[in-house]
């Protein structure tokens, strides 16, 4: 029986904004099949005497690999069978014309739920990394079949819209081969581009021609304001968090040999939200059956303390999807490497599902940690595209057309800075506590001239989010948009070849 505490904790009351915390429904103790997993995410603690198991209904989805046609049939059949919990849409097509399907799983699949966050999972960005693709199909199956029997899943779907894109690179998947643990066959899209090196980059100009698959993702996350995201990969067992790139790479722009050296003697490149990204990564790793042990996949591969790593500390890359989500759209994305073998035999898929299912669920629930609320005008109308940032954390986020905002934060005292065209900027203090998302509503006052009517200040050049200023050599701020091209010549070719080799090994 689900227990809901009715306590409302008053945190901060201001004349310009109101903040308070709400209790999130708790869940029973959780275990997975033969693995006793009584450890649960703080904030969703045990209630009830009997442990229960997360067990999917697999009657209509076997543990086998599904080609694009099979996957399409499954998704269409699922949304026809569960029209109240699912909606199927495409964000575009691959180079070879395959649909990039997304399944929404939610109690409100066809329309946004006011005040409730959108989250997403993306799989198979590298076509030969196939485990994540199947995990996401089973995730869909599990959520829809558990909604009426599992109070925790019901709460998650009642309060969250989950968008699942099982395969971003269906062309690469079609070219890859089951049983191949290493190598690059099928990794790239059909034009030979690595999609996880194909996004705009903050630290360095990315001259690679944008591909249809990445353009589809960019348009998708520009339309839907995602709060949290996970990208499923293979080739290692670790949760990797931003930044993937580093400003230090600029030091070696004129020397290819130096660039090679810096790429593999790497230092962390930390975001202003490093505490949050580490927590999100640990949430996944600690709920995984093996990841938190930090065991290396091979004797020559690195081991990862607690099963997590900063992306640039592992190896830097330019044009990664998780950095783009964070800097350009304020969405916190973590890269989840879920299998040592990129494309293991199908008979191992059940094991991977058992290892990952609790992690996948608990990770999404983290969208309800931190602060959320509305930015409104004095009449209670929503202010769309208001720019917000947490003081001291210079990567910002913005409101939806309904004036909503969300930000994942750890417990503490913060100051929210709010800017909106035509309104007086506001600073609002608030507190985040463990286990309870803090609700914060901010009212903005219109700005006006001394000589009379209201006016709208001169609009600054468009920029989707606040971005940190990275010091380049010589102490001047760097500019990722106008950076110079990569070095050319034989040493650069050598460097690029070495990078490709490492990418194929590590994922």
User: What's the predicted TM-score (pTM) here?
Assistant: 0.80
What confidence score (pLDDT) does residue 290 get?
94
Query: For 431-439, what is the mean pLDDT?
Result: 91
Tens digits of per-residue pLDDT, 219-237? 999 999 999 999 999 999 9
User: Measuring CA to CA, which residue among 83, 223, 87 is closest to residue 164?
Assistant: 87
Domain boundary (320, 339, 368) is at: 368
What confidence score (pLDDT) does residue 265 get?
57
- 75-83's contacts with Cβ under 8 Å and 24+ in sequence apart are 75/101, 75/103, 75/140, 75/166, 78/103, 78/140, 78/141, 78/144, 79/103, 82/144
Both structure tokens of 336: 């989840």
**Omega of the bond leading into 243 within 30 degrees of 0 (cis):** yes
Based on the fold, state whether residues 317 and 380 are members of the same structural domain. no
| Residue 356: φ, ψ to 5° | -105, -20
Based on the fold, state whether residues 386 and 421 are members of the same structural domain. yes
CA 234, CA 129: separation in Å to the nearest integer? 5
Domain boundary (420, 446, 472) is at: 446
Based on the fold, state whether residues 241 and 385 are members of the same structural domain. no
Tracing tokens 């304020």 back to the chain, one arrives at 330
How many CA atoms within 13 Å lie on the side-chain side of 280? 31
Query: For 465-485, what is the mean pLDDT?
Result: 40
Tens digits of per-residue pLDDT, 275-318? 999 999 999 999 999 999 998 898 877 889 999 999 999 999 99
Structure confidence at residue 31 as a pLDDT band (50, 70, 90): very low
Query: For 418-437, what is the mean pLDDT?
Result: 94
Q: How many domains does the chain have?
A: 2
Domain boundary (368, 393, 410) is at: 368
17 occurs within a structural domain: no
- What percent of the chain shows pLDDT beyond 70? 73
What confidence score (pLDDT) does residue 500 get?
53
Q: Are 297 and 193 in contact (CB under 8 A)?
A: no
Residue 409 is part of which domain span? 371-446
Of the chain, the end-to-end C-alpha distance in Å amounts to 43
The CATH number assigned to the domain holding 179 equals 3.40.630.10
Structure confidence at residue 44 as a pLDDT band (50, 70, 90): very low
Based on the fold, state whether residues 175 and 305 are members of the same structural domain. yes
User: Measuring CA to CA, which residue among 121, 125, 307, 309 is closest to residue 228?
Assistant: 121
Based on the fold, state whether residues 304 and 353 are members of the same structural domain. yes
CA 118, CA 120: separation in Å to the nearest integer? 7
Based on the fold, state whether residues 364 and 394 are members of the same structural domain. no
CA 171, CA 127: separation in Å to the nearest integer? 7
Based on the fold, state whether residues 285 and 402 are members of the same structural domain. no
What average pLDDT does the structure give for the chain? 81
Structure confidence at residue 266 as a pLDDT band (50, 70, 90): confident
Catalytic residue among 129, 134, 333, 337: 337
The region of weakest confidence among 24-38, 85-99, 370-384 is 24-38
The answer to whether residue 488 is catalytic is: no
User: Is the predicted pLDDT of residue 366 greater than 70, yes or no?
Assistant: yes
CA 403, CA 382: separation in Å to the nearest integer? 4
What confidence score (pLDDT) does residue 503 get?
55
What confidence score (pLDDT) does residue 416 get?
98
Burial class (CB in 10 A: 0-12, 13-18, 19+), 322: buried
What confidence score (pLDDT) does residue 3 get?
42
Q: Are 189 and 94 in contact (CB under 8 A)?
A: yes
Query: For 463-475, what is the mean pLDDT?
Result: 43
User: Measuring CA to CA, which residue among 311, 197, 314 is closest to residue 264?
Assistant: 314
Query: For 483-488, what is the mean pLDDT?
Result: 37
Based on the fold, state whether residues 188 and 237 are members of the same structural domain. yes
Burial class (CB in 10 A: 0-12, 13-18, 19+), 302: middle
Structure confidence at residue 117 as a pLDDT band (50, 70, 90): very high
Structure confidence at residue 406 as a pLDDT band (50, 70, 90): very high
Based on the fold, state whether residues 112 and 209 are members of the same structural domain. yes
What confidence score (pLDDT) does residue 62 get?
92
Q: Are 451 and 374 in contact (CB under 8 A)?
A: no
- What percent of the chain shows pLDDT beyond 90? 70
What is the number of other CB atoms lying within 10 angstroms of the CB of residue 113? Answer: 15
What pairing do the DSSP bridges indicate for beta strands 161-165 and 99-105?
A: antiparallel
């Amino acid at each position: 029986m689900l227990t809901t505490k009715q306590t409302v904790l008053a945190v901060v009351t201001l004349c310009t904004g109101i903040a308070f915390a709400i209790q999130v429904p708790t869940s029973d103790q959780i275990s997975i099949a033969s693995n006793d997993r009584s450890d649960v995410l703080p904030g969703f603690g045990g209630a009830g005497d009997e442990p229960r198991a997360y067990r999917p209904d697999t009657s209509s989805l076997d543990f086998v690999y599904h080609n694009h046609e099979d996957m399409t049939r499954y998704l269409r059949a699922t949304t026809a069978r569960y029209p109240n919990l699912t909606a199927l849409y495409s964000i575009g097509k691959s180079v070879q014309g395959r649909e990039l399907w997304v399944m929404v799983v939610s109690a409100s699949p066809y329309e946004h739920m006011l005040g409730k966050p959108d989250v997403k999972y993306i799989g198979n960005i590298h076509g030969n990394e196939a485990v994540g693709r199947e995990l996401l199909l089973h995730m869909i199956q599990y959520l829809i079949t558990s909604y009426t029997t599992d109070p925790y899943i019901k709460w998650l779907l009642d309060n969250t819209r989950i968008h699942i894109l099982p395969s971003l690179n269906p062309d690469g998947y079609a070219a890859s081969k089951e049983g191949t643990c290493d190598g690059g066959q099928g990794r790239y899209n059909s034009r030979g581009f690595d999609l996880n090196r194909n996004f705009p980059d903050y630290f360095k100009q990315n001259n690679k021609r944008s591909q249809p698959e990445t353009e589809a993702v960019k348009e998708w996350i520009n339309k839907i304001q995602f709060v949290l995201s996970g990208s499923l990969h293979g080739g290692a067992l670790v949760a990797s968090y931003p930044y993937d790139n580093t400003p230090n790479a600029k030091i070696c722009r004129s020397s290819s040999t130096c660039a090679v050296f810096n790429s593999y003697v790497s230092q962390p490149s930390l975001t202003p939200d490093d505490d949050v990204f580490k927590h999100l990564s640990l949430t996944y790793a600690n709920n995984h059956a093996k990841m938190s042990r930090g065991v290396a996949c091979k004797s020559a591969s690195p081991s990862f303390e607690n099963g997590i790593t900063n992306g640039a500390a592992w190896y830097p890359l330019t044009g990664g999807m998780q950095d783009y989500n964070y800097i350009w759209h304020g969405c916190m994305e973590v890269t989840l490497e879920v299998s040592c073998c990129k494309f293991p035999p199908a008979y191992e898929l059940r094991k991977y599902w058992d290892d990952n299912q609790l992690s996948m669920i608990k990770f999404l629930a983290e969208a309800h940690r931190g602060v959320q609320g509305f930015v409104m005008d004095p009449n209670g109308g929503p202010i769309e595209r208001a720019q917000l940032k947490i003081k001291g954390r210079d990567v910002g986020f913005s409101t939806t057309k309904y004036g909503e905002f969300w930000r994942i934060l750890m417990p503490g005292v913060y100051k929210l800075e709010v800017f909106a065209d035509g309104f007086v900027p506001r600073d609002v203090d608030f507190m985040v506590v463990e286990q309870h998302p803090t609700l914060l509503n901010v009212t903005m006052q219109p700005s006006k001239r001394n000589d009379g009517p209201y006016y709208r200040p001169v609009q600054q050049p468009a920029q989707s989010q606040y971005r940190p200023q990275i010091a380049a050599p010589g102490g001047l701020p760097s500019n990722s948009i106008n950076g110079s091209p990569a070095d050319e010549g034989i040493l650069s070719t050598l460097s690029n070849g070495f990078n490709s080799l490492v990418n194929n090994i590590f994922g």
